[in-house]
Amino acid sequence: MPLAKQRYTTPLLHSLTRADFSMLNTASPVIYLASASPRRGELLAQIGVAFRLLVPHPGEPEVDESVQCNEHADAYVVRLARAKAAAGEARRQLRHLPSGLIIAADTTVVIDTTILGKPHDHADAARMLRLLSGREHRVLTAVAVQRATHTEVALSDSRVRFCTLNDDLINQYIVSGEANDKAGAYGIQGRAAQFIQHLSGSYSGVMGLPLFETTQLIQHVCAYRATKETVHE
């Protein structure tokens, strides 16, 4: 079953072998990362995936990340991941770059039913961290892989529990600057690691790019392409 038909679920595919990881750099001529997030680039590099950045130039339009009316969090991140992949493919064509795979992702933090995106300012970051203090929340990361007009998406859903944060700890964290560009106003890979009492799910997914789901999607999209080419021979 194609992953695109599995609604917001992580694909249940075979375990990765060394040959599978090797394939990530050979099955497609180019892999593009349609994200300016340095964390996502670091995660891809961690597993040996060579990629080119494909992000908007200054002044170019970006995907609107506004939450739609009555939109659930899982649908929200899946929609944005798809939209960012489609925008990346359009950007590739406009710049006359070689064909390849476009990887895009979106991450959000959910507490109860409230979606926490990136904070607007220090006061907003403090508000978010107070909401998370001493409680469990969800971190949703949707990743989309697109080649030409074919796109597949998977969703990573993790649970994170924070310790109780006092105002001094919150202020110290905000002053560090780490909260500025991160969903939920924290990054698990930085100083906020001291806040984490428990994590259930994908560490890389909480960082912003679930590596298992990403590699599985790359393989599926490459296999789909190979099947289509075989059928047309």
Q: Residue 33 carries which DSSP code?
A: E
Token code pair at residue 26? 């050979």
Alpha-carbon 227 to chain mean position: 27
The answer to whether 140 and 156 are in contact (CB under 8 A) is yes
CA–CA dist 154, 3 (Å, integer): 7
Catalytic residue among 20, 64, 106, 181: 106
121 belongs to the catalytic site: no
- 24 Cα distance to chain centroid: 18
Dist. CA 63–CA 53, nearest whole Å: 16
Beta partners for residue 198, in sequence order = 161
- Token pair belonging to 178: 């780490």
145 three-class SS = strand
Catalytic residues: 106
